[in-house]
Structure 1
Amino acid sequence: MWHDLVVVQIPIVEKILRTVAVYALILVLFRLAGKRGLAGLNTFDMVVVFLLSNVVQNAIIGNDNSLLGGTIGAVTLIVVNSGVTRWLARDPRAARLLEGTPTTVVRDGRLVPGALRELALRPSELEHAIRLQNGDDVSDVARARLEPDGQLLVTLKAAEQSATRGDVEELRQRLESIERLLATLTEQQGGQGRR
């Protein structure tokens, strides 16, 4: 029993190469699937992710069921992913190549023709994202775009945006200055009436 836990049953280099190859394959598949696949995982997407992990499991572990073999595979995945993430953070060209570029879906309150269809994005998903970001409908949106990581970013038209704390603080300061001015005018009028 202990032997099966700690003895790696395939060469360690093969284990690492298998893990890196499967990582690269999954990266390419997700890149080809597009941004929409990352935008919001629905039930079907979750089924695919669960099945995908099961399908590639044997490609990573091979004929090795040892604890040490699994540990080597897990560490390899983490190291490779960390390296790729750092590379993408430093190299904008690599980020464009591997992640893609944002796609504008709404401009000046109107849908960009064909953008939703190209991304396989349903209008209800776009409407939901707009409501989550305090808009009522597409006409409230200055610009909306689907980022390479699958996030739908919505910029509301200036008139449709909610007040910020800074806006409220500015109004409070203006009201205080108006109150001071009114108090000064009232004192001046009171002083003139006594003459």
Structure 2
Amino acid sequence: MSDALFQSFGGIARMILFATMAYVSVVLILRISGKRTLATLNAFDMIVTVALGSTLASAILSRSTPLTEALAAFVTLVALQWIVAWGSVRFRTVARIVRSEPALLVRNGDVLHGALTRERITERELETVVRQSGARTLDNTSAVILETDGSFSVVAREGSDEGSDYAKAGLR
């Protein structure tokens, strides 16, 4: 039981040194790779971001993984993300494979039930999104769009006193 709480000061020192070196290395890698690496514009981006975090956590906490191997894994994920993003900008086929399209869920206050069904969103969830945006009711919305990253954009109707012209709600 005592090993679960404390093993040695050497282990703590190793963890601090390893975490610091990993942190500095990851910051440098991310600065070199550019802002897009951590953007969550679509599901693929989110998966890569989670994988990068998992790789970093495993590298810091695992005594059996050398820092160079962990950084090699991190660089590989960043490079793959860069290649896929580069390919999706240049080739329509790649873009179709890795990107989803935004889905219009509400038009001029009218719920598009077919779109809700395709996107597996309930009307109750949709109403929650609208309330969180400040528009309060579907009648106050010009559009509700399920974005490619899983967030919702709520566009208030012109002249509506409710909400703003554009509000983001974070239901995923």
Length-normalised TM-score, structure 1 = 0.45
Question: Which position in structure 2 is the counterpart of 1:97?
Answer: 97
AA at the equivalent of 1:154: V
Question: Which position in structure 2 is the counterpart of 1:190?
Answer: none
AA at the equivalent of 2:111: L
Question: Which position in structure 2 is the counterpart of 1:167?
Answer: none
Question: Which position in structure 2 is the counterpart of 1:67?
Answer: 67
Q: How many angstroms apart in 2 are the aligned matches of 1:153 and 1:91?
A: 27
Q: How many angstroms apart in 2 are the aligned matches of 1:93 and 1:161?
A: 43
How far does residue 144 in structure 1 lie from its aligned partner after superposition?
Answer: 1.1
AA at the equivalent of 2:117: R
AA at the equivalent of 1:152: F
Q: How many angstroms apart in 1 are the aligned matches of 2:86 and 2:153?
A: 24
Aligned length: 110
Decide which structure has the larger Cα Rg and report it.
1
Q: How many angstroms apart in 2 are the aligned matches of 1:129 and 1:91?
A: 34
Q: How many angstroms apart in 2 are the aligned matches of 1:142 and 1:121?
A: 18
How far does residue 156 in structure 1 lie from its aligned partner after superposition?
Answer: 1.4
Check 1:99–1:161 CA distance in 2 against 1; reply closer, same or farther (3 A cut).
farther
How far does residue 105 in structure 1 lie from its aligned partner after superposition?
Answer: 0.8
How far does residue 89 in structure 1 lie from its aligned partner after superposition?
Answer: 4.4
Higher RCO (CA 8 Å, separation ≥ 6 residues): 1
Alignment of 1:8-19 (within 5 A): none
Question: Is structure 2 residue 100 aligned with structure 1 residue 112?
Answer: no
Residue by residue, what CA displacement relative to the aligned partner does 1:131-158 show, whole Å, maximum 9, x if unpaired?
A: 2322011111111111112121111110
Contact 2:136/2:163 (CA < 8 Å) preserved in 1?
no
Query: Structure 1 unaligned runs (5+)?
Result: 1-29, 32-37, 39-48, 58-63, 165-195
Residue by residue, what CA displacement relative to the aligned partner does 1:100-124 show, whole Å, maximum 9, x if unpaired?
A: 2111111121110222222122333
Question: Which position in structure 1 is the counterpart of 2:132?
Answer: 132
Q: How many angstroms apart in 2 are the aligned matches of 1:108 and 1:96?
A: 28
Identity percentage over the alignment? 24
Check 1:130–1:89 CA distance in 2 against 1; reply closer, same or farther (3 A cut).
farther
Query: Structure 2 unaligned runs (5+)?
Result: 1-42, 59-63, 165-172
AA at the equivalent of 1:109: G
Contact 2:156/2:162 (CA < 8 Å) preserved in 1?
no
Length-normalised TM-score, structure 2 = 0.51
Check 1:90–1:156 CA distance in 2 against 1; reply closer, same or farther (3 A cut).
farther
Structure 1 residue runs of 4 or more that deviate by more than 6 Å after TM superposition: none
Question: Which position in structure 1 is the counterpart of 2:35?
Answer: none
Contact 1:134/1:161 (CA < 8 Å) preserved in 2?
no
Contact 2:84/2:94 (CA < 8 Å) preserved in 1?
no
Q: How many angstroms apart in 2 are the aligned matches of 1:129 and 1:89?
A: 31
Q: How many angstroms apart in 1 are the aligned matches of 2:96 and 2:157?
A: 28
Question: Which position in structure 2 is the counterpart of 1:154?
Answer: 154
